[in-house]
């Protein structure tokens, strides 16, 4: 398979597709680049493409009539945007912009639907993926309502920390502070205050975008308190 087809093969949405189907989608795909802050699409627009993040991060959000934004989630490399509306053919249900310079692979929605109709066994796995997405967004919404910024940050660090060979736990955020703030529905200033407080308490230490959890148990208790 070519490079783009290989990329598509690693996307959850296309798990189970045969090589011929992946090559067909790859032949129809094209690259797109966004600058930081650039809108990919807005809520209510027609759905024409599925987008797969090759590099960078995107913010998925909805806006109030007053112009306030609620961040639903942030997606990064290997993840896709627009799965549900690509399947339904309905208008976009949320807006998406780039947190940082981002490169995407765009795949036409009509071609995806045609391939999926020819591979109905793939649809069950897709339904499970969409159900998981709904659960994740529901949890994010609950956190925004019930947890303050420091607790949302603590929960993020604990949930995404990876154990290292030396037994320590490190959360690699892989994005700017503005991007992390967007993920937890906070301002950059409030994020910095929370990171500073955690560091002062001896719970974390930072090195660039990597956060080492020096006291994971304390962070976990705090997130749940």
Residue 139 pLDDT exceeds 70: no
Residue 110 pLDDT exceeds 80: yes
Cβ atoms of 148 and 190 within 8 Å: the answer is no
DSSP letter string, 72-98: EEEE-TT-EE-HHHHHH-PPPSSEEEE
pLDDT for residue 180: 84
The pTM for the full model equals: 0.72
Higher pLDDT, 128 or 149: 149
Domains assigned to the chain:
3-145 (2.60.120.10), 147-224 (1.10.10.10)
Residue 1 pLDDT exceeds 70: no
Quickly list H helices, 29-120: 83-88, 109-118
pLDDT for residue 17: 86
Average pLDDT over residues 17-29: 92
Residue 225 to residues 141, 151, 185, Cα–Cα distance (Å): 18, 8, 19
């Amino acid at each position: 398979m070519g490079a783009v087809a290989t990329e598509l093969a690693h996307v959850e949405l296309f798990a189970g597709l045969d090589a011929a189907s992946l090559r067909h989608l790859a032949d129809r795909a094209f690259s797109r680049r966004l600058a930081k802050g650039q809108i990919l699409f807005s809520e209510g627009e027609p759905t024409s493409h599925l987008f797969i993040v090759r590099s960078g991060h995107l913010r998925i959000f909805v806006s109030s009539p007053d112009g306030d934004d609620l961040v639903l989630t942030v997606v990064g490399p290997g993840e896709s945007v627009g799965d549900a509306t690509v399947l339904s053919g309905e208008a976009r249900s949320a807006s998406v912009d780039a947190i940082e310079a981002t490169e995407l692979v765009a795949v036409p929605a009509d071609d995806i639907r045609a391939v999926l109709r020819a591979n109905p066994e793939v649809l069950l796995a897709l339904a499970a993926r969409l159900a998981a997405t709904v659960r994740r967004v529901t949890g994010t919404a609950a956190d925004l309502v019930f947890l303050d910024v420091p607790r949302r940050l603590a929960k993020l660090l604990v949930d995404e920390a990876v154990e290292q060979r030396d037994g320590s736990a490190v959360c690699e955020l892989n994005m700017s502070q503005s991007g992390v703030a967007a993920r937890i529905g906070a301002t950059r200033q409030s994020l910095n205050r929370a990171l500073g407080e955690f560091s002062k308490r001896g719970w974390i230490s930072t090195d660039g975008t990597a956060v080492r959890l020096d006291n994971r148990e304390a962070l976990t208790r705090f997130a749940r308190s």
